Amino acid sequence: VEADKLVAELTADGAKVVAIQADSADPAQVANAVEETVKALGGLDVLVNNAGTAYMAPIDEFPQDQFDRLVAINIGGVYSAIRSAVAHLGEGSRIINIGSINADRVPTGGTAVYAMTKGAVSSLTRALARDLGPRGITVNNVQPGPIATDLNPDEGEFAAVVRETTALGRYGHTRDIAAVVSFLAGPESGYVTGANWNVDGGFTA
């Protein structure tokens, strides 16, 4: 429903848009989504890997099925999307991963597995920048910090603690992430690749 609403809004603004549902943990579905996108839009210039999931628990209490799910989505989903898309990306194309500042800083317990998956995305970004650089394709990783969303509200006791740990003393907004992604997707970022962009209000400072 939300996807259909967004498609309608963007189409009304004159954009050509297609919404495709796929399970990021299923490589076949990811590959199909990429092919359907290319077919509908006539090509592919920018890939943004924004799917992810989280589960927090001490390592000795971490369910195996949750471990498998985090790895399949947070690492496997990114890998599958890039592997499927790269054949359609030419010189000047962009790959933008959405990671997490937990790849660099782990401020709370129970986040070992989540941090591991985001660390993998960070490493994959740097390695692929080397692999794809000769083809003129840039690869970067945006690492959000505390961002206010429905699932991560900027109010309450926990949010108050988080605000105290940021240099700016507040949560960020989704538009802050979108602005960095927009820059990395545009021509101004042509000499930027293999970089992790912390968008965290100074959380990791």
Q: From CA 30, how far away is CA 161, in angstroms rounded?
A: 38
> Position of tokens 């592997």?
83
- d(Cα 14, Cα 101) in Å, to the nearest integer? 35
Measured over the CA atoms of residue 99, residue 103, residue 108 and residue 111, the dihedral's sign is positive
Give the closest residue to 4 by CA, choosing from 22, 18, 23: 18
Other beta carbons within 10 Å of 2: 7
Annotation marks residue 114 as catalytic:
yes
Angle at 91 between CA 88 and CA 97, to 5 degrees: 70
| Active-site residue, from 79, 114, 171, 191 | 114
Helices (H) and strands (E) in the chain, counts: 7, 4
The Cα–Cα gap between 170 and 11 comes to 34
Return the residue matching tokens 């599958």.
80
| Cα distance between residue 124 and residue 75, in whole Å | 9
Active-site residues, by number, are 114
